[in-house]
């Protein structure tokens, strides 16, 4: 493939670091695509009597997650008999998913086509882009391509799931192009709220597809790694067939502030504070954590880390060289009582008010090592993810009731987004200049807002595709259209169970949580079918038995009457008996107190 960017021809993949003997986990690739198209002109004397033109197959783009929702981003690019995957994330359960730990995409399509898959390419290390990888690898063993920090986080995740030794990871430098068969993938540096984020230029036989990943335009990033405007413009000049662009902040006008502005706010908050400072933020926002540590060090404070994910993230960032912590700044969380409040900062997880997170347990007075007092300044350096607002509000209220001072985004600029607003999205569209446009990474209203922005910049309405998970977009050299649907949806993970909790189970859980449970126990003679004992009634979540003895007796009497009728009619089929008891009791309770508990009859054979 022709490429004017000389740096790509010189790029190589680095072998990922190992602290033990090499396993199948890593490989070193030096054979990056270096082919150049021939510059020779056809011979003028040769007469061309007939031109045979073969129509190229269309490129199929199939989002399996990440559209009309926030989370579980995963997109399939399929050309003829080859597939590459971009990202494989998870989503967090909604309120109606009782007991569910996390949600991943339905990957049945990939399992059916596993022999076609050439690799998984990852844009960055956030959970909504890498959290589903262990669940994909249990179905399909594919090589994974990512940047240094992204692979560091993936490696940690695979170690937890005991999948590291059987997985091949390729570390890719920004600016490198990877040959994936009939498609090639170029890693392009972008800016986001996590180090080493990239977008992809995917070179296919029908044209170039640009996938931005999550991005913002940060002119003064903490690590100095600015988005590669030059390369984006070069690719735009070549001619981009399709742009797939981050839509998270598509409804917000203007620009997203630089991450570096947060450091100034922290400096001001820390400078004259005589209280203990507790800062809650996303563990993955390494640059935010670095600024908190810097502000603490400059004001003579020791720093303690609270929360397993925060500890692991900082360890990984330091090991890979993405954080610089001054010597003797960090202390163990067990030693915080040995330091005066004005000499201490605690960095913790729980900025989203998650029920079991460290900050939530502190606010509830349940944390074993940190007790909130009126001499605490708590800074929540994050905005609530949609759906988490009431959890965050509850934590803030609990902290204030204890007497702590709480600073959050509504009171001070202690958070900036990692996603670009409308003006940044316009800049991306203007640089790339695509023929077709697909907004991604957002709920429906955000995709629509992004589509409207694209129309304002001159992209025809008919060239903009608002897709749904599972829909197939086919793009050829001359046209693009939605042609069909593949299996897609949500797979719920509950404990060690994957996919064994479905809609029926969730409905039962909702029913139990809202109306409670009544268990009817009977004993039946195996020979005659006669009821010899019972009914006994057990209530859970419906009424307290001791305070509702009259109701319990009424229910028993009704069940006895129904059993007598069944016995008179010589009905001995257990299924019929159970159904009759269930329906009779539900009708009675609906009339008696307008409640609808789950009724579970149990017949014991004696």
* Alpha-carbon distance values, 87 to 63, 74, 150, 404 (Å): 10, 5, 11, 40
Residue 565: predicted pLDDT: 78
The model's confidence at residue 97, banded by pLDDT at 50, 70 and 90, is: low
- Whether residues 222 and 279 fall in one domain: no
Upper half-sphere CA count for residue 550 (Cβ side, 13 Å): 1
SS3 label, residue 337: helix
Residue with tokens 């697909």: 438
Q: In the predicted model, what is the mean pLDDT of the chain? A: 85
pLDDT per residue as tens digits for the range 410-462: 778 889 999 999 999 999 999 999 999 999 999 999 999 999 999 999 999 99
For residue 343, what are the contacts with CB-CB under 8 A and spacing of at least 6?
A: 300, 301, 302
- Whether residues 69 and 211 fall in one domain: yes
Q: In the 3-class helix/strand/coil scheme, how is 486-554 assigned residue by residue?
A: CCCCEEEEECCEEEEECHHHHHHHHHHHHHCEEEEEEEECCCCCCEEEEEEEEEECCCCHHHCHHHHHH
Please say if 267 is a catalytic residue: no
Residue 588, token pair as written in the block: 């009675």
Residue 15: predicted pLDDT: 40
Residue 511: predicted pLDDT: 63
Quote the CA–CA distance of 261 and 216 in Å, as a whole number: 14
- Whether residues 231 and 97 fall in one domain: yes
Q: Reply yes or no: is the peptide bond before residue 362 cis, omega within 30 of 0.
A: no
**Is residue 475 situated within a structural domain?**
yes
SS3 label, residue 578: helix
Quote the CA–CA distance of 344 and 347 in Å, as a whole number: 10
Quote the CA–CA distance of 445 and 358 in Å, as a whole number: 33
Please say if 397 is a catalytic residue: no
Mean pLDDT to the nearest integer, 108-131: 95
Give me the catalytic one of 126, 129, 287, 419. Answer: 419
- Whether residues 525 and 399 fall in one domain: no
Question: Cβ(71)–Cβ(454) under 8 Å?
Answer: no
Element (H, E) at 447: helix 444-456
**Is residue 41 situated within a structural domain?**
no
pLDDT per residue as tens digits for the range 188-209: 999 999 999 999 999 999 999 9
- Whether residues 264 and 346 fall in one domain: yes
Where would I find the H helices in 138-184?
A: 148-160
Pairing label, strands 276-280, 376-380: parallel
pLDDT per residue as tens digits for the range 233-268: 999 999 999 999 999 999 999 999 999 999 999 999
Give me the catalytic one of 246, 294, 376, 398. Answer: 246
Residue with tokens 């359960």: 93
Q: Over the range 536-566, which residues count as b (16 or more CB within 10 Å of their CB) and which as e?
A: ebebeebbeeeeeeebbeebeebbeebbeeb
Residue 8: predicted pLDDT: 41
SS3 label, residue 302: strand
**Is residue 14 situated within a structural domain?**
no
**Is residue 13 situated within a structural domain?**
no
- Whether residues 72 and 140 fall in one domain: yes
In the predicted model, is pLDDT for residue 44 greater than 70?
no
Indicate whether this model's pTM tops 0.85.
Answer: no
In the predicted model, is pLDDT for residue 37 greater than 80?
no
- Whether residues 591 and 488 fall in one domain: no
Quote the CA–CA distance of 28 and 38 in Å, as a whole number: 29
**Is residue 105 situated within a structural domain?**
yes
pLDDT per residue as tens digits for the range 321-379: 999 999 999 999 999 999 999 999 999 999 998 888 899 999 999 999 999 999 999 99
For residue 344, what are the contacts with CB-CB under 8 A and spacing of at least 6?
A: 276, 277, 301, 302, 303, 304, 336
Residue 528: predicted pLDDT: 64
pLDDT per residue as tens digits for the range 448-507: 999 999 999 999 999 999 999 999 999 998 899 999 999 998 887 766 556 555 566 666
The model's confidence at residue 218, banded by pLDDT at 50, 70 and 90, is: very high
Tally the domains of the chain.
Answer: 3
Residue 541: predicted pLDDT: 73
**Is residue 9 situated within a structural domain?**
no
Q: Which domain holds residue 98?
A: 59-254+418-494
The model's confidence at residue 51, banded by pLDDT at 50, 70 and 90, is: very low
Residue 136: predicted pLDDT: 95
Quote the CA–CA distance of 591 and 143 in Å, as a whole number: 61
Q: What percentage of the chain carries pLDDT values higher than 90?
A: 62
Question: Cβ(238)–Cβ(203) under 8 Å?
Answer: no
**Is residue 8 situated within a structural domain?**
no
CATH code at position 377: 3.40.50.10710
- Whether residues 92 and 171 fall in one domain: yes
Residue 543, token pair as written in the block: 């009424």
Neighbours of 414 (CB within 10 A): 21
- Whether residues 250 and 322 fall in one domain: no
CATH code at position 534: 3.10.20.580
- Whether residues 75 and 116 fall in one domain: yes
Q: Which of 345, 375, 407 is the last residue of a domain?
A: 407
Q: Reply yes or no: is the peptide bond before residue 199 cis, omega within 30 of 0.
A: no
Q: Which residue has the higher pLDDT, 237 or 538?
A: 237
Neighbours of 518 (CB within 10 A): 24
For residue 575, what are the contacts with CB-CB under 8 A and spacing of at least 6?
A: none
In the predicted model, is pLDDT for residue 588 greater than 50?
yes
CATH code at position 71: 3.60.15.10
- Whether residues 556 and 469 fall in one domain: no
**Is residue 40 situated within a structural domain?**
no
Q: Which of 494, 528, 550 is the last residue of a domain?
A: 494
- Whether residues 110 and 239 fall in one domain: yes
Q: Which of 464, 494, 524 is the last residue of a domain?
A: 494
Residue 98: predicted pLDDT: 62
Mean pLDDT to the nearest integer, 28-55: 41
Mean pLDDT to the nearest integer, 163-191: 95
């Amino acid at each position: 493939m022709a490429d004017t960017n000389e740096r790509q021809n010189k790029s190589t993949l680095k072998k990922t670091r190992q602290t033990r003997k090499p396993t199948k986990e890593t490989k070193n690739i030096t054979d990056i695509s270096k082919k150049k198209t021939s510059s020779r002109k056809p011979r003028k004397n040769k007469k061309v009597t007939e031109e045979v033109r073969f129509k190229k197959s269309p490129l199929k783009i199939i989002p399996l997650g990440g559209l009309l929702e926030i989370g579980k981003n995963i997109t399939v690019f399929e050309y003829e008999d080859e597939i590459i995957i971009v990202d494989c994330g998870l989503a967090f359960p909604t309120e109606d998913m009782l007991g569910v730990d996390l949600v991943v995409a339905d990957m049945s399509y990939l399992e059916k086509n596993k022999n076609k898959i050439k690799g998984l390419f990852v844009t960055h290390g956030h959970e909504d882009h890498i959290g589903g990888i262990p669940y994909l690898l249990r179905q399909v063993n594919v090589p994974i391509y990512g940047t240094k920090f992204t692979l560091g986080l993936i490696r940690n995740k695979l170690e937890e799931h005991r999948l590291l030794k059987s997985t091949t990871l390729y570390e890719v430098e920004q600016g490198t192009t990877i040959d994936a068969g009939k498609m090639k993938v170029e890693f392009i540096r972008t800016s986001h709220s996590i180090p080493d984020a990239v977008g992809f230029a995917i070179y296919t036989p029908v044209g170039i597809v640009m996938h931005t990943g999550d991005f913002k335009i940060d002119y003064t990033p903490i690590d100095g790694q600015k988005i590669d405007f030059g390369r984006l413009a070069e690719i735009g000049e070549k001619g981009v067939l399709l742009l797939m662009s981050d839509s998270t902040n598509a409804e917000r006008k203007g620009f997203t502030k630089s991450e570096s502005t947060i450091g100034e706010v922290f400096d001001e908050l820390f400078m004259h504070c005589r209280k203990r400072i507790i800062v809650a933020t996303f563990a993955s926002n390494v640059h935010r954590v670095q600024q908190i540590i810097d502000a603490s060090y400059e004001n003579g404070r020791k720093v303690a880390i609270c929360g397993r994910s925060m500890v692991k993230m900082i360890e990984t960032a330091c090991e890979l060289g993405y954080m610089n912590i001054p010597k003797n700044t960090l202390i163990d969380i067990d030693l915080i009582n040995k330091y005066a409040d004005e000499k201490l900062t605690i960095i913790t997880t729980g900025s989203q008010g998650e029920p079991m997170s460290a900050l939530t347990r502190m606010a509830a007075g349940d944390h074993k090592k940190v007790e909130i007092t009126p001499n605490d300044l708590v800074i929540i350096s994050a905005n609530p993810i949609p759906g988490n607002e009431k959890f965050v509000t509850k934590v803030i209220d609990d902290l204030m009731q204890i007497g702590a001072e709480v600073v959050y985004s509504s009171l001070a600029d202690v958070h900036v987004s990692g996603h670009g607003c409308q003006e940044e999205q316009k800049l991306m569209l203007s640089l790339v200049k695509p023929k077709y446009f697909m907004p991604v990474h957002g709920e429906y209203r955000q995709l629509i807002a992004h589509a409207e922005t694209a129309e304002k910049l001159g992209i025809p309405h008919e060239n903009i595709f608002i897709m749904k998970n599972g829909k197939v977009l086919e793009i050829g050299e001359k046209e693009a259209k939605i042609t069909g649907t593949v299996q897609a949806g949500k797979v719920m993970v509950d404990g060690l169970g994957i996919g064994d909790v479905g809609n029926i189970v969730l409905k039962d859980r909702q029913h139990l949580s809202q109306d409670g449970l009544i268990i009817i126990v009977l004993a039946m003679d195996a020979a005659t079918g006669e009821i010899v004992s019972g009914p006994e009634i057990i209530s859970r979540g419906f009424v307290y038995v001791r305070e509702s003895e009259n109701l319990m007796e009424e229910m028993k009497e009704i069940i006895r009457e129904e059993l007598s009728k069944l016995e008179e009619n010589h009905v001995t089929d257990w299924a019929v008996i159970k159904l009759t008891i269930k329906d009779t009791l539900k009708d009675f309770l609906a009339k008696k107190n307008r409640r609808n508990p789950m009724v579970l009859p149990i017949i014991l054979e004696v």
